[in-house]
Amino acid sequence: MAHRLSHLDTLASEAIHIIREVVAEFERPALLFSGGKDSAVLLHLAAKACWPQRVPFPVVHVDTGHNFPEVLEYRDQQVVKLGVRLVVGSVQEDIDAGSIVEQPVPGATRNRLQTYTLLRVLEEGRYDAVFGGGRRDEEKARAKERVFSLRDEFGQWDPRAQRPELWNLYNTRHQPGEHFRVFPLSNWTELDIWQYVEEQDLELPQIYFAHRRMVFRRSGMLLALGPWTKPRDGVASEQAFEATVRYRTVGDMTCTAAVESAAKTPAEIIVETSVTKVSERGATRADDRFSEAAMEDRKREGYF
């Protein structure tokens, strides 16, 4: 078609425009990288936005200490491949230093604890704009967040005091101490991400694709058998078994669940995603199940 862009090209151009706007108007940007598919697409687009230069800003990883080894390996490969600087914020170090206290339950999730580490790393780096891979289709509170989302000096989000965001004219002005979270993938859906991964032939951590793994069921979710997650003694329903699974999201191992799937390629995942009945976060994230406002509450505190 003459002079028409596909929806993926439109979304990619929009994301690149947003990234360049940050490079032009901020002094110290950084990119939050979890090793998940959204941050992988984001980093890929950042490389395109900066081409032919290297990505000039650092990649920040908040390490809960409960990682999938495949994801850490992937993170390190990507950092070398793109020649970007990696900054790691360790939740374990903050626990050891006594800055945060872990719940005294074996296998307790560190999901909420990582907000402290995140805010500490952002403050130490004096970053004024921090890219995140958040998408508005993920969750109802995210659906109302701006592309350029202002955080106060405590890193908090105030959903009722958001600035109107018009056209593609982003208001980047802020007071010292405040920073922006910037979400170039705001308008992407899970399906768009997979279509883009396929189109661009992007590498992702292996755990996104079907593999055999020892798992057990807890509250309807499939958790991996690992150093931090084990069936509880005497709970018959938590019998471990081997299954063919893949992950739809990548997070802390203690709260990220797998889905049973035989999809081995992005194309097969696209087919599955098109017919799936359960949302990405509903299927795989124990952290969003606490209450209907779980995400809103965490975001207000400064979460990703």
Partner 1 sequence: MELLRFATGGSVDDGKSTLIGRLLYDTKQIFEDQLEAVQRTSLSRGDEYVNLALLTDGLRAEREQGITIDVAYRYFSTPNRRFIIADTPGHTQHTRNMVTGCSTSDLVLLLIDARTGPTEQTRRHAMIASLLGIRHLVLCVNKMDLVGYSKARFEEIRGEFTGFSERLQVYDLTCIPISALTGDNVVDRSPEMPWYGGPALLDHLETVHIASDRNLIDLRFPVQLVIRPISSEHHDFRGYAGMIASGVLEVGDEVVALPSGFSTHVVSIDGPDGPLQEAFPPQSVVVRLADDIDISRGDMLCRPNNRPNVGQDVSAMICWMAERPLRAGTTFAIKHTTRWARALVRSLQYKLDVNALHHDSRASELELNDIGRIHLRTTAPLFYDEYRENRETGSFVLVDEQTNATVAAGMLRHPVG
The radius of gyration computed from the CA coordinates of the chain, to the nearest angstrom, equals 19
143 binds partner 1 (CB under 8 A): yes
CB of 163 to partner 1, least distance (A): 4
Looking up tokens 């709260």 gives 255
DSSP string, 199-236: HHT----GGGS-EEEEEEEETTEEEEPSSS--PPTT-G
Among 28, 120, 174, 211, binds partner 1 (CB under 8 A): 174
Handedness of CA 215, 217, 220, 221 (dihedral sign): negative
Quote the least distance from Cβ 294 to partner 1, whole Å: 11
**Does residue number 21 form part of the binding site for partner 1 (CB under 8 A)?**
yes
Residue selected from 97, 101, 105, 166 as contacting partner 1 according to rule CB under 8 A: 166
Q: Is 156 in the site for partner 1 (CB under 8 A)?
A: no
- First and final C-alpha spacing in the chain: 39
- Give whichever of 240 and 270 is closer to partner 1, judged by the CB atom: 270
- Pick from 85, 126, 140, 232 the residue near partner 1 by CB under 8 A: 140
Q: Determine if 206 is a binding residue for partner 1 (CB under 8 A).
A: no
- 105: contact with partner 1 by CB under 8 A: no
Closer to partner 1 by Cβ: residue 52 or 104 = 52
Residue in 111, 117, 186, 254 binding partner 1, rule: CB under 8 A:
186
Binding status of residue 175 toward partner 1 by CB under 8 A: yes
Asked if residue 150 lies in contact with residue 178, where contact means CB atoms within 8 angstroms, the answer is yes
User: What would the x/- binding string for partner 1 be over residues 43 to 62, using CB under 8 A?
Assistant: --x--xxxxxx---------
Of the candidate spans 62-70, 97-105, 165-173, 262-270, the one that interacts with partner 1 by CB under 8 A turns out to be 165-173
CA angle 103, 105, 109 (to 5 degrees): 65
Residue 213 to residues 78, 105, 143, 218, 242: CA-CA distances in angstroms? Answer: 25, 24, 34, 16, 5
CA gap 136, 171 in Å, rounded: 19
Q: Point out which span in 41-49, 94-102, 107-115, 263-271 binds partner 1 (CB under 8 A).
A: 41-49
Structure-derived torsion over alpha carbons of residues 59, 73, 224, 188, reported in degrees to the nearest 10 = 40
Structure tokens at 294: 């779980």
Binding status of residue 163 toward partner 1 by CB under 8 A: yes
**Binding status of residue 129 toward partner 1 by CB under 8 A:** no
Residues binding partner 1: what is the number (CB under 8 A)?
63
Q: Which of 113, 182, 257, 283 touches partner 1 by CB under 8 A?
A: 283
Contact between 28 and partner 1 by CB under 8 A: the answer reads no
Query: Residue 52, preceding bond cis, omega within 30 degrees?
Result: yes
DSSP state of 153: T
Q: How many CB atoms lie within 10 A of CB 184?
A: 28
CB of 155 to partner 1, least distance (A): 17
| Beta bridge partners of residue 259, listed in sequence order | 246
Strand 211-218 to 221-224 pairing: antiparallel
Q: Where along the sequence are the contacts to partner 1 (CB under 8 A)? A: 1, 3-7, 9-14, 16-17, 20-21, 23-24, 45, 48-53, 136-137, 139-144, 159-160, 162-171, 173-175, 186-187, 189, 191-192, 200, 276-279, 282-283, 292-293, 296
